[in-house]
A and B are shown apart, each in its own frame.
Chain A
Amino acid sequence: EAQVTQNPRYLITVTGKKLTVTCSQNMNHEYMSWYRQDPGLGLRQIYYSMNVEVTDKGDVPEGYKVSRKEKRNFPLILESPSPNQTSLYFCASSLRGLGRVNQPQHFGDGTRLSIL
């Protein structure tokens, strides 16, 4: 089954304790992206990756890191989490498309992070 898998689904942790949220897709998609969703603010892009070893900042990258060493995986790293990073996080992937044509995106089920 084609899917985007995020882990963990829920996490409660404390300020400053490094954490990683994993994202894996089995559709051979080139494009992957991380979003956070907060009430009243909608979906905001954190980082994205056009392909292996190619990553770039989205709209709200501060406090986050990513890596794309393999095509299927795109982990989100919070080196020193803070309470303002408490949010619902989504990973998404899509084919890149010839000529940078936007493709429908597939989303994971989300990771709810609480930073105390």
Chain B
Amino acid sequence: DAKTTQPPSMDCAEGRAANLPCNHSTISGNEYVYWYRQIHSQGPQYIIHGLKNNETNEMASLIITEDRKSSTLILPHATLRDTAVYYCIVRFHAGGTSYGKLTFGQGTILTVHP
């Protein structure tokens, strides 16, 4: 799976959009970008994933650049409960020796303040 680089920490005001960047310059053509988050010592929570088109669900939006070397997770209206560590992962969509296994890097600590 391709390596990802995220800023160690970010701040965001409550009610504003939180934009979390992720670099994955070595991503291959059949690797997807996944985002999970972990609120302090709770189980990780799936947020969203995508291949090359922008994706949106009830939690967030995912913007992937045209060359697919970077992406941005957008929380449109951040709340205090969105304070968490956010992990960007690149992994094969299907098969491979690492099927199913999640490997988290250091992630980005997002702090949403009032």
Q: Per-residue CB proximity of B41-55 to A under 8 Å, as 1/0? A: 111111001000000
What residues on A are CB-neighbors of B94 within 8 Å? 97, 99-102
Name the contact of A90 in the complex, choosing from B44, B92, B93, B95 (C-beta under 8 A): B44
- Whether A104 pairs with B46 at a CB distance below 8 angstroms is yes
What residues on B are CB-neighbors of A35 within 8 Å? 102
Interface size on A (CB < 8 Å)?
Answer: 28
Stretch of B9-17, B74-82, B103-111 contacting A (4+ beta carbons < 8 Å): B103-111
A85 at the binding interface (Cβ < 8 Å): no
Stretch of A11-19, A71-79, A106-114 contacting B (4+ beta carbons < 8 Å): A106-114
A116 at the binding interface (Cβ < 8 Å): no
B8 at the binding interface (Cβ < 8 Å): no
- From known contacts A4-B43, A43-B44, A110-B41, infer whether A105 and B102 are also in contact, taking CB-CB under 8 Å: yes
A50 to B106, CA, bound (A): 27
- Whether A48 pairs with B100 at a CB distance below 8 angstroms is yes
Nearest chain B residue, comparing its CB with the CB of A59: B101
Nearest chain B residue, comparing its CB with the CB of A106: B46
What residues on A are CB-neighbors of B99 within 8 Å? 100, 102
What residues on A are CB-neighbors of B106 within 8 Å? 42
A90 to B93, CA, bound (A): 22
B86 at the binding interface (Cβ < 8 Å): no
B91 at the binding interface (Cβ < 8 Å): yes
Nearest chain B residue, comparing its CB with the CB of A94: B100
- Rank and list the top 3 A-B pairs by shortest CB-CB distance, nearest first: A107-B43, A104-B46, A101-B94
